[in-house]
Amino acid sequence: MLDFQKEFIQFAIARNVLRFGEFKTKAGRLSPYFFNSGLFNDGDSLRLLGEFYAKAILAAAIPFNILFGPAYKGIPLVSSIAIALSNMGYNYPYCFNRKEIKDHGEGGFIVGATLSGKVLIVDDVISAGTSVHQSVDLINANNASPAGVVIALDRMERGTGQFSAVQEVNQKFGIPVTSIVSLNNLIEYLRNDNSLHHHLNAIECYLNQYGVN
């Protein structure tokens, strides 16, 4: 686990974004942890979140030339990531979409830079892959090409079939998906944290039951 990954887990726990207990998922499973990126909801949190994404992007070394954030969660994400990358010496254009087309002013679906070239999609997590599918369709419709996806957490959890949502995106669109951290990173962290070690067994059992490699 890289230093920034450990720091991100600590950050998520401190902001109560990552919690432990018993939580019911959309799939009806009882999960021993819950990740809610919507609780990164102040200026300092958003600044730090953008920096963690930027470090993950640079570590993944995915070739791209523009950042795209799908509405709505992707809008503050892509903005903070672009700023963080700029502060690190990497100045990339960014854009995001509207949910409904604007019929006055500049019009259109896209706000920000022109959607062109190799596009890196940013999101918080991939559950059913719907947001990525819509983003890829929009990118293709603008004669651009999806370069990859970056998310905060890879749950490494099976969807409706034998593959995880991340694996399904990778296979369906042929693009890499990288994350700041994965569930394996969280397990590694818990193994070395005495104050949270008691949560380890439940998460390992959950991964064994619902997870994928």
Q: Which residues have a catalytic role annotated?
A: 102, 104
Distance from C-alpha of 137 to C-alpha of 180, rounded to nearest angstrom = 25
Q: Of 98, 123, 122, whose CA–CA distance to 111 is shortest?
A: 98
Q: CA–CA distance from 31 to each of 13, 129, 152 (Å)?
A: 16, 20, 18
Q: CA–CA distance from 39 to each of 18, 21, 107 (Å)?
A: 9, 17, 32
| CA 113 to chain CA mean position, Å | 21
3-state secondary structure of 32: strand
| Rg for the chain, CA atoms, rounded | 17
Distance from C-alpha of 64 to C-alpha of 116, rounded to nearest angstrom = 10
Q: CB of 24 within 8 A of CB of 30?
A: yes
DSSP 129: S
* Phi, psi dihedrals of residue 171, rounded to the nearest 5°: -75, -40
Distance from C-alpha of 43 to C-alpha of 151, rounded to nearest angstrom = 20
